Amino acid sequence: MIFENNDNGILNDYSQKKLGLNPEQKKLELIPVNKISLRFENKFIVKEETLKPLIKSIEENGLIEPIVVCRMEDYLVAKGLIDKGTPLDMFIPLSEKIDSAIQKNSNSKTANEISLLEKYKELADSGFEYFISSGHRRFKAYISILTGETIVSDQDWENAFEKKLKEPEAKISDNNYFRIPSYIVTEEELSGDKENSIYADSNTTQRELTSFEVVINVIDEMHKNDAWEEMNQKITKKIFKKYIPSEEENLQKNVTFNKWVKKLEKSFPAEYQKMVSEKSNGDKQIELINQKKFILSRPADYMTGGKQEIAEYISEYIKKNKGREIKAQTIRSTRILLETYNPEFMQYIYDGKLSIRDAKNGLAIYKNLKKSEDMSNEEILLRIKASLTSRGKNSDHKKRVSKKKSYSAKEVVKILEEIKNGKISIEKAIELMN
């Protein structure tokens, strides 16, 4: 069900304040679901077993907490990816504006910015005008009720859109669930990192998140608000000072220093050549100075004890900013998943197709398959699940074996006598003793 008017009084004010929005500026709007896209970077887990109670609740009580959406055009303008334009430009389709921005500023934009614009163009071409900042589970539950299908994964949503919601094929616009109660993040509210804050903070208030979800989204948040770079600089300087406390120390003879140099040269060959080799002109002393600068400019992961320092730093960041106690070891294991699995494979975790436990147990399998065979992510997923299932069966068998009955010498003699007298077969005896 949906609200009949654009203002639901106390509930409207409460919800907006909770989400960090200004009730004086905002009203509840009813937006067609086929105009709203999922957010590109949604790293919260959706599982069918948690979605079904939400579906039932919405069917019985309505959508108590509206979703928060962002107008794509406002977002792209706020990020400086497209020009705001004149009032007359409102009649120009967003897809054309994006095309113009790509062609006009292709030299001045980064590869990531171009890639992002291309993604939004694809969405605009499909008729989308908004993306979700907060409320992916609520949105999927709403779509589930509307289509009569359980929409869990992002792929489920894409399939439902193509089959039942895409214009002009959409034939359910008269359904009560075709328009979803939504708050729109305005262009003014998009200044700075407001949208990311709404996404991160409001999602964490909707339910108790797993440590994995908290860590994944905090890492993403730190990358976007420059906290990640600040952390790396602090830790790198700290570790460097720990192993090389004196400015006068002969770096050329320092084992740890040379170890770092070799590791970084191998990991960043092009950058090393540009920042060290080319600028040193064969002068050993200048080379050492440039090597030091290069080390201090690289991620702390590459330094002795760097990964642990990063994990402890993130742990403190989470405690201070999110009010959660998460151990450094949990953070390290989560980062291993991020560093091993590609983004497309990680989506299986967010879609509830692969548990965190299985993802951790499947790391070695994934690495071996990636090295040895050219397989799709889906094929690798099936191989991992099959392998882990087989392991589980073997483990169960071992447990059963470990619990088998012990026989005394007297009992063994009795069984042997029964075999001799033809009362039981050898096979039966073996079966009994196993």
Of these ranges, 70-74, 131-135, 227-231, 319-323, the one predicted with the greatest mean pLDDT is: 227-231
Q: Report the pLDDT value the prediction gives residue 233, as an integer from 0 to 100.
A: 94
Where are the chain's structural domains?
9-207, 235-302, 345-401, 404-434
- The beta strands (E) that lie in 81-129 are given as none
pTM: 0.68
Task: Tell me if 70 sits within 8 A of 164, measured CB to CB.
Answer: no
Task: Tell me if 414 sits within 8 A of 384, measured CB to CB.
Answer: no
Q: Which residues contact 22 (CB under 8 A, 6 or more apart)?
A: 16, 189
**Residue 43 reports pLDDT greater than 50:** yes
Q: Report the pLDDT value the prediction gives residue 215, as an integer from 0 to 100.
A: 93
Report the C-alpha gap between 288 and 104 in whole angstroms: 43
**Residue 25 reports pLDDT greater than 70:** no
Q: Report the pLDDT value the prediction gives residue 327, as an integer from 0 to 100.
A: 95
pLDDT digits (tens, 9 = 90+) for 341-399: 998 899 899 888 899 999 999 999 999 888 777 788 888 888 898 888 877 655 554 55
Place of tokens 């039966």: 428
CA of 367: how far to CAs of 173, 336, 392, in Å?
47, 12, 20
* Phi-psi sector, 325: left (phi>0), alpha (psi -120 to 50), beta: beta
For 111-119, the CB contacts below 8 A with 24+ separation are 113/81, 116/40, 116/81, 117/76, 117/81, 117/82, 119/40
Reported confidence tier of residue 58, pLDDT bands at 50, 70, 90: very high
Report the C-alpha gap between 340 and 363 in whole angstroms: 7
Chain mean pLDDT for the chain = 81
**Residue 214 reports pLDDT greater than 50:** yes
Average pLDDT (147-173) is 85
